[in-house]
Structure 1
Amino acid sequence: MRRSFYSWLMTQRNPVAANEVQTFANGAFYDQQFPKQSDDFDEISRHLEENASYLHSVTIFDEAWAEYLASEN
């Protein structure tokens, strides 16, 4: 069983946010409704589209998801 996307994303946090994935991770950290236990693309994507004003573009999520999958294989 792979770890949740949120768990992976938290490894990307960076207080100075050098890139968009790090900025996304910083914002997700403060998102109380983020599906923290999920590894389901559709569930997380739906949450981000409906609730994540801190995510400026869904392509950032797509990039982060690709990195997540690569790290789990």
Structure 2
Amino acid sequence: MRKSFYHFLMKFRHPEPKDAISVFANYAYADHSFPKHTSDYHELSTYLELNGDYLESMSVFDEAWQLYSQTESGS
């Protein structure tokens, strides 16, 4: 079964974030409304465009999504 994007993202959480994806992961963890059970790109991107003011740029999400897609496809 495919894990949710949130579950994947949590492996990047770090008490002292070293990159933008780690910062994103920390903020997503603290965002109690983050859609934790989905793996739908459009649902996540829409949510972040409307509520992800903690994101430096949507390109951070796109980079994390690309890593997620590669991991989940087994590439």
- Mapped partners of 1:31, 1:4: distance in 2: 16
Give, in angstroms, the shift of residue 41 of structure 1: 0.2
- Mapped partners of 1:56, 1:70: distance in 2: 23
Q: In percent, how many aligned pairs have the same letter?
A: 45
Counterpart in 2 of 1:3? Answer: 3
| Matched residue count | 73
Aligned-residue RMSD, C-alpha: 0.7
Counterpart in 1 of 2:35? Answer: 35
- Mapped partners of 1:5, 1:43: distance in 2: 11
Counterpart in 2 of 1:19? Answer: 19
Counterpart in 2 of 1:68? Answer: 68
Letter in 2 for 1:69: S
1:44 aligns with 2:44: yes
Could you report, residue by residue, the CA deviation over 1:15-50 in whole angstroms, capped at 9, with x for unpaired residues? 110000000000000111111000000000000000
Structure 2: segments with no counterpart, 5+ residues: none
Structure 1: segments with no counterpart, 5+ residues: none
- Mapped partners of 1:15, 1:42: distance in 2: 29
- Mapped partners of 1:47, 1:69: distance in 2: 18
The 4+ residue runs of structure 1 with deviation greater than 4 A are none
Could you report, residue by residue, the CA deviation over 1:38-68 in whole angstroms, capped at 9, with x for unpaired residues? 0000000000000011111000000000011
Give, in angstroms, the shift of residue 71 of structure 1: 1.2
TM norm structure 2: 0.93
